[in-house]
Structure 1
């Protein structure tokens, strides 16, 4: 079933089923704040979201807050960015679609468990890695199918040429494994979307700029050369989740040297991050020659994030998106981490403007009314100063960063250019052939 295009008002993203939303006569009005940047070729951009995903709650003390999506959408609508892209109220993913990656017993558990009956599943909780990080909450199955359905719909828009860039900020849950939850992630929508892209694209490049290592995606494609994973993240094996993703984590089997990791230390700043990012991404794209790119835009790499430890500002994070976009390949943008909701929404709104080749003002849009405006106090701007208060000392010396870059270049030299791949519907490692490689990984993670 195709997602339904929707026309939005400035003050709501509500839908009823798959009905088309007409503009409310009370809110149709002003010129949008966003303006098209002159001289740039127009990209076809689609925005995929189901507002029901916003209504879920991990728990009052849990750092993951799905209502960050509400703030993001209010900014997008307030700036008028919906006028520059196709907006779709997406459907929920089906169980069969989730089964493309996840196991039957895990999906059955997700469907059946609730806060009310959790005690009866006590023996299964450890098996599927449920606990404080990945709690059982009301509507957990619905939440998983909604954000996954949005990523699947976005991938299909890229495949059929209706979009050059497709956006799903509710997705990007990169830690989920085939048969277990991990790091606030239950279903790995990124893997599911990449599997869709692989039906027609011989090679897909996955780039991750979350502060945490994109371990779930890397594991899924660990032994195939049809997907290259490239993750920029904080690495500390013993003290920072998930404790994986050092420079020598390079894949295995047919996928050896197709897992690239950029382990960073606390406090990296705008200049060093963007420079390192560009110096690695360009040769990776030139060597691997992907047919499409999936970019995970985790906002916890921003300065002042509740769980992050970098000193990045919104413009620097966005510069990475702009750079990837400049290669002109079909591009899927997904969300991910981000635990200071007001900054998460600022970032993803700004990166939506980058995707649509529009400029938005630094001041918050006048269409953004109460109570949403108060979440952005006291600055009331799109670009507050983040990471400039010395909260984290920059422990990334120029010498260390150059060493990291050189190690990536050495891996690329092993490849000798883009692999010639036999087109298959599903890479062989996802059919259970990589157990010999996965089992040692699981043993290491448990240890």
Structure 2
């Protein structure tokens, strides 16, 4: 039976591309932090990291009109002083000075700073790093001021970078910088990583503290990059048992992953009682990723993020890995809709730029699963879960924190700003102020 009427193009453009989900008890205030300049950098023709995936993500967010549901910010780049809160000065000086044309002048430093195929020197490498790091820091500032309950920066999440060197396509560790910023006013920060690869840079940075708990779900066989992340890596000294690793084998499917994720994260949050959460949403754990080896579909990945959101704890949400750009952008757009409590049409909007890039199905939810055999038996996953629960039992509840351990401010605050932020210095989220600060002039994108 053929349709009698069809919409004209103007009607199609103006028609809503989402449905509001009503009835949710938790309706967070969401902010979206994106500097378009970050997508203009290029690691190299053969390199799997493609920053233009961020432009595709932004096009999808705009085409679905999700900007109507969020505060939009164009953040500034991080300053050198802010980056040096974690990274060493000689390493950052090197990033600022080196260019593809001057590589031969730095021959003695290339090996020292781990420069090679994974972490090449490309035009503007320092500027690129400072842009995505600045977006994450801007997002944390909105959380600290109470302007946002959930702050999103898809350009962030580069979890492998170390204090003294780049690693795994990551040059500046925006996650570590963000957590240091959050620790100024939050007693306990929970970091969750669902990238295909172990979040080694973040774990290493906070291995010796009980104020940050790191939880990473990733592929592990001892050889797969970065070669770390087994169950017995659980923290050092005061940080003993505050690093949790969930090592997985190839081919894990939607049901297995979701079941394990919820059975681990529920007791983690109940035990640790975080006052803020940093959620890294690496898309290379999707099925069909260029560097991937899992069978996850977009809805399953998003279900994990939705579960964490359901606890009603302030969240910084960042990107990470992901090397099939069309699927990366689909995922992060979908997870943006989860944060904003809307349901998106599965068919991609007709007016979407580069829509042919999503051929042949032009769908938000292509089938990405069942490509590989699932080598994670139920028995194996149950054993992993049991060992993690045993580790949690050794914590004896959430650690108490004396807030005189707070790191120094990233920036100088006025007396009025300091007084306002001091109001947030409470151990439990329930005592936080509800009022939202107005955006600083020039930051809000119309």
Stretch of structure 1 that moved more, 316-325 or 36-45 = 36-45
Alignment of 1:131-210 (within 5 A): 131-210=116-195
User: How far is 1:425 from its partner?
Assistant: 2.1
What residue in structure 1 maps to residue 339 of structure 2? 355
- Partner secondary structure for residue 284 of structure 1: helix
Contact 1:32 1:81 in 2 (8 A): no
Is 1:272 the counterpart of 2:253 in the alignment?
A: no
Alignment of 1:56-205 (within 5 A): 56-205=41-190
Is 1:393 the counterpart of 2:378 in the alignment?
A: no
Q: What is the Cα-based RMSD across aligned positions, in Å? A: 1.4
Taking structure 1 as the reference length, what is the TM-score of the superposition? 0.87
How far apart are the structure 1 equivalents of 2:72 and 2:213? Answer: 29
What residue in structure 1 maps to residue 39 of structure 2? 54
Contact 1:152 1:189 in 2 (8 A): yes
Contact 2:13 2:351 in 1 (8 A): no
User: How far is 1:27 from its partner?
Assistant: 13
Distance change (3 Å), C-alpha of 1:27 and 1:65: farther
User: How far is 1:426 from its partner?
Assistant: 2.7
Contact 2:57 2:333 in 1 (8 A): yes
- Partner secondary structure for residue 100 of structure 2: coil
How far apart are the structure 1 equivalents of 2:406 and 2:397? Answer: 23
How far apart are the structure 2 equivalents of 1:219 and 1:408? Answer: 19
How far apart are the structure 2 equivalents of 1:282 and 1:196? Answer: 25
- Partner secondary structure for residue 116 of structure 1: helix
CA deviations 1:39-62 (Å, max 9, x no partner) are 124210000010000000000000
How far apart are the structure 2 equivalents of 1:192 and 1:402? Answer: 34
How far apart are the structure 1 equivalents of 2:183 and 2:80? Answer: 20
How far apart are the structure 1 equivalents of 2:128 and 2:335? Answer: 24
How far apart are the structure 1 equivalents of 2:39 and 2:250? Answer: 31
Is 1:215 the counterpart of 2:200 in the alignment?
A: yes
- Partner secondary structure for residue 127 of structure 1: coil
Structure 2: unaligned runs, 5 residues or longer: 1-9, 409-446
What residue in structure 2 maps to residue 342 of structure 1? 326
Is 1:332 the counterpart of 2:312 in the alignment?
A: no
How far apart are the structure 1 equivalents of 2:210 and 2:12? Answer: 50
Segments of 4+ moved more than 3 angstroms: 26-29
How far apart are the structure 2 equivalents of 1:355 and 1:386? Answer: 22
Is 1:234 the counterpart of 2:215 in the alignment?
A: no
Is 1:373 the counterpart of 2:355 in the alignment?
A: yes
- Partner secondary structure for residue 117 of structure 1: helix
Structure 1: unaligned runs, 5 residues or longer: 1-25, 428-447
User: How far is 1:29 from its partner?
Assistant: 6.4
How far apart are the structure 2 equivalents of 1:172 and 1:192? Answer: 11
CA deviations 1:61-113 (Å, max 9, x no partner) are 00000000011000000000000000100100000000100000001001000
CA deviations 1:264-318 (Å, max 9, x no partner) are 0000000000000000000000000000000000000000000010000000000
Is 1:281 the counterpart of 2:265 in the alignment?
A: yes
What residue in structure 2 maps to residue 364 of structure 1? 348
Taking structure 2 as the reference length, what is the TM-score of the superposition? 0.88
How far apart are the structure 2 equivalents of 1:27 and 1:213? Answer: 46
Q: Which residue of the other structure, out of 302, 305, 308, is the alignment partner of 1:321? A: 305
CA deviations 1:394-426 (Å, max 9, x no partner) are 100000000000011011000010011222223
How far apart are the structure 2 equivalents of 1:29 and 1:96? Answer: 45
User: How far is 1:191 from its partner?
Assistant: 0.3
